[in-house]
Amino acid sequence: MKAKKNIGIKIVCNNRKAKFNYFFHELIEAGIVLKGSEVKSIRDGKANINDAYVTDNNGEIFLINSHIPLYKESSYNNHNTRDMRKLLLNKKEINKVIGKINREGLTIIPTKVYFKKGKAKVEIAIAKGKKLYDKRNVKKKRDWDREKARIFSKNK
């Protein structure tokens, strides 16, 4: 029997508040266009996508407001920390995403940035924003599940 190969995924940063603020409908993996100093800075684990969002511009998808800090060892050709970064999807995926945004009132948010086989990838989610009462219900259900697990563990 063959041993499983490690596919080489190194997670750089997560958007942990995204799951709390949105209902995810679909997760899509996208490549990202980066400059050399941006890649090196991300490899150091210094990226932030907590305030980032994704929009379309003339049939292309862009990541906006993501923060990749300056790379110290880079010289005069360093990058801007809050540039618009193009996401790489094929035309069919782009059309599907743009259609869902326009018709159903959904939004696109990045959930994580990682390296897969040496290439920088962004996982984006097609999501719908939660209302305050939705957040309360999720918290109530989580607390009840925790309490239920405690009760069952005491009975055993």
pTM of the full structure: 0.78
Q: Where are the domains of the chain?
A: 9-130
Which among 9, 111, 130 has a CA at the least distance from the CA of 63?
111
Please report the pLDDT score of residue 2 as a whole number: 59
pLDDT one-digit tens code per residue, 5-58: 556 788 888 998 888 888 889 999 999 998 888 888 888 888 888 888 888 888
Please report the pLDDT score of residue 104 as a whole number: 80
CA dihedral angle for residue 60, residue 30, residue 100, residue 104, rounded to 10 degrees: -120
Task: State the Cα–Cα distance between residues 24 and 17, nearest whole angstrom.
Answer: 12
pLDDT one-digit tens code per residue, 115-142: 998 899 999 999 988 887 778 888 899 8
Superfamily of domain 9-130: Small protein B (2.40.280.10)
Please report the pLDDT score of residue 4 as a whole number: 56
Neighbours of 47 (CB within 10 A): 19
